[in-house]
């Protein structure tokens, strides 16, 4: 198992009270769209629930076409402020994932879309069930994993997305939900014009 210099885990970024109220919001009040989608004439089911929120004018060509851009909710804005204050760094968008139990997962990928720029910093906040982030080096498949406790903030610093892929594997022993927020900064200059 290898370590990865570009990953930094801040445990206890949120205290237990914040974890509890934010988790309650995402599980009971956040609006989750249907996770079925069509692509190239076929029907797919995303193995988790997902929403995408961004500042006005930000567009992102994520690989599935589920991502309708939604406005920031009060809870998302409050969490963004906490993350930005801690890191002294600004984010203009967030992808919210809801893993309803261990059947839900995200497959191997890198968040390396051109709109994220050459050297993206992505900040990833976890709430609820502890799941591992698995990572493997693209060149030689060296692999490792990092457990992401509730309330932790994982920094994926450049050039992590260039050299590594990551996933949150399925684990059917897990019966409870996990929420993950990945704060991103989509470059306006590269974003596609609004049509």
Residues of this chain that bind ligand AKG (CB under 6 A): 95, 97, 106, 111, 124, 133, 148, 166, 168, 180, 182
- Residue in the shown chain whose Cβ atom is closest to ligand AKG: 180
Closer residue to ligand AKG (CB): 25 or 95: 95
| Cβ within 8 Å of residue 14, ≥6 positions away | 22, 82, 125, 127, 150, 151, 153
Enumerate residues 107-126 that contact Fe ion by CB under 5 A. Answer: 111
Beta bridge partners, 70, equal: 53
Least Å from the CB of residue 113 to ligand AKG: 10
Cβ-contact 173, 86 below 8 angstroms: no
Query: Per rule CB under 5 A, is residue 6 in the interface with Fe ion?
Result: no
Least Å from the CB of residue 105 to ligand AKG: 9
For residues 183 and 125, give the distance between their C-alpha atoms in angstroms, rounded to a whole number.
8
Least Å from the CB of residue 180 to Fe ion: 9
Q: Which uninterrupted H or E stretch holds 80? A: helix 74-87
Closer residue to Fe ion (CB): 48 or 80: 48
Query: How many residues contact Fe ion, by CB under 5 A?
Result: 1
Distance between start and end Cα atoms, the chain: 46
Closer residue to ligand AKG (CB): 25 or 148: 148
Cβ-contact 195, 139 below 8 angstroms: no
**Residues within the interface to Fe ion (CB under 5 A):** 111
């Amino acid at each position: 198992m290898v370590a990865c210099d570009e990953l930094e885990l801040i445990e206890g970024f949120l205290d237990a009270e914040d974890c509890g109220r934010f988790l309650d919001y995402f599980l009971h009040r956040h609006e989750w769209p249907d996770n079925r989608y069509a692509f190239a004439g076929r029907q797919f089911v995303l193995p988790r629930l997902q929403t995408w929120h961004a500042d006005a004018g930000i567009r992102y060509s994520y690989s599935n076409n589920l991502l309708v851009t939604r406005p920031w909710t009060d809870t998302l804005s409050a969490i963004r402020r906490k993350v930005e204050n801690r890191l002294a760094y600004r984010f203009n968008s967030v992808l919210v994932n809801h893993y309803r139990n261990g059947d839900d997962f995200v497959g191997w990928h890198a968040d390396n879309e051109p709109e994220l720029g050459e050297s993206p910093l992505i900040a990833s906040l976890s709430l609820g069930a502890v799941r591992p982030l698995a990572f493997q080096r693209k060149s030689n498949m060296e692999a490792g994993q990092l457990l992401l406790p509730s309330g932790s903030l994982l920094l994926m610093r450049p050039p992590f997305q260039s050299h590594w892929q990551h996933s949150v594997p399925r684990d059917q022993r897990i019966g409870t939900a996990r929420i993950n927020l990945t704060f991103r900064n989509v470059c306006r200059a590269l974003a596609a014009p609004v049509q």
